[in-house]
Amino acid sequence: MLLAVTPAFYSFSTFQTRGHSKSTCQSSINEVTSKLYKFSNFKTLATSKTNNDMRRCECFDLYKEHVPYLEALSWQKSIVKEKKSLIDRGEDCFDTLIILQHPSVYTLGTASSEKFLKFEREYAPYNVYKTERGGEVTYHGPGQLVIYPILNLQHHKMDLHWYLRSLEEVVIRVLSNTFFIKASRLEGFTGVWVGNEKLAAIGIRVSRWITYHGLALNVTTDLTPFQYIVPCGIRDRQVGSIEGLLGVSESPKSGMEGKLTTSASQLMDITHDSLLKEFSEVFQLTLCHAPISDLPLEGRNMKLVY
């Protein structure tokens, strides 16, 4: 099992309780801020190392868009169908990655239980869809980066445990290498955790070794909608975000001098760039821009209401 281990990022209050002076703490905060601005200028879709042996992966990059859940699902299902057809004809097919945000929505896995909903169906705060992925109920919304890898595991490793651990590894590297946050896996659960807080949820579906669905990482997400469900069916844990862990704010306020000053949009940009870089390296894929016009149109009117 791969696990990136680096020093954790500590907030201003943590430094104070450990006996560090305010100037020492501010120096550390400045270092992290400098790192954030450095990554804000990082604009690439592929690993910096060009390797002709790496498989190509088309990337539909809509990370600034709020794409309705059913539309994104229809894209995935159409792409999976196309890849199966190519395989049946004995042809190779590129891997695909879609990255985006969703408007507020709740989704449930194949075997999800209603007991994890804290509301009646007719009074649901947002649309609720039951879908084909594994796992229990979760929330998707603005400020959360969602990636949908559509990979042919026959060209990677035909092992679902390996695939799940690899998706977790992508997020662990993002948090460690970009934000100095020490994240980990939690035995018996799928996802990525920082202490008692779950930052990334993972739910997948695999058909004839072609993957779809994927992972969702809370960056600047409003966590309030999670209060109306039992996220992933786990009652004794919390949900967190990168923004919350870093203590990012738009501008310093009274009593918040120790927080990093940056914008939510910049934090999303930084996380987006890092996610694509680490995904490319973990799965050894060269990511290539694909025009949004190439996304399939069929299935946009599909009904999947729970």
pLDDT in tens, 281-302: 999 999 999 999 999 875 444 4
What is the pLDDT, as a whole number, of residue 301?
A: 44
3-12, 229-238, 284-293: which has the highest mean pLDDT? 284-293
Give the total number of structural domains in the chain: 1
Place 224 in a pLDDT band, splitting at 50, 70 and 90.
Answer: very high
**Six token digits for residue 166:** 């690899």
| Mean pLDDT for all residues in the chain | 81
**Would residue 297 count as lying in a domain?**
no
The reply to whether 304 falls in a domain is no
Residue 248 CA neighbour count, 13 Å, CB half = 20
Judge whether 32 lies within some domain.
Answer: no
Domain around 122: 53-249+261-292
Q: What confidence tier does 143 reach under pLDDT thresholds 50, 70, 90? A: very high
| Tokens 């943590």 belong to residue | 14
Lowest mean pLDDT: which of 29-43, 51-65, 138-152, 181-195?
29-43
| 232 flagged as catalytic | yes
Q: How large is the average pLDDT for residues 187-215? A: 95
**Residue 13: pLDDT over 90:** no
Looking up tokens 């918040």, which residue turns up? 256
**pLDDT value of position 10:** 30
Q: What is the CATH number of the domain that holds 97?
A: 3.30.930.10
What's the pLDDT band for 3 if we cut at 50, 70, 90?
very low
In a domain, 19, yes or no: no
Query: Is residue 6, in this structure, part of any structural domain at all?
Result: no
pLDDT in tens, 104-127: 999 998 888 778 888 888 899 999
How many CA atoms, within 13 angstroms, populate the side-chain half-sphere of residue 61?
16
Choice among 57, 59, 93, 232 that is catalytic = 232
The CA–CA distances, whole Å, from 45 to 38, 245, 250 equal 16, 26, 27
CA–CA separation, 292 vs 18, rounded Å? 50
Q: What would the mean pLDDT of 63-71 be, rounded to a whole number? A: 97
> Does residue 31 fall inside a structural domain?
no
29, part of any domain: no
pLDDT category at 247 given cuts 50, 70, 90 is confident
Mean pLDDT of 87-102: 95
Report helix, strand or coil for 16.
helix
* Residue 26 included in any domain: no
Phi, psi of 72 (to 5 degrees): -65, -35
Q: Is the pLDDT of residue 24 over 50?
A: no
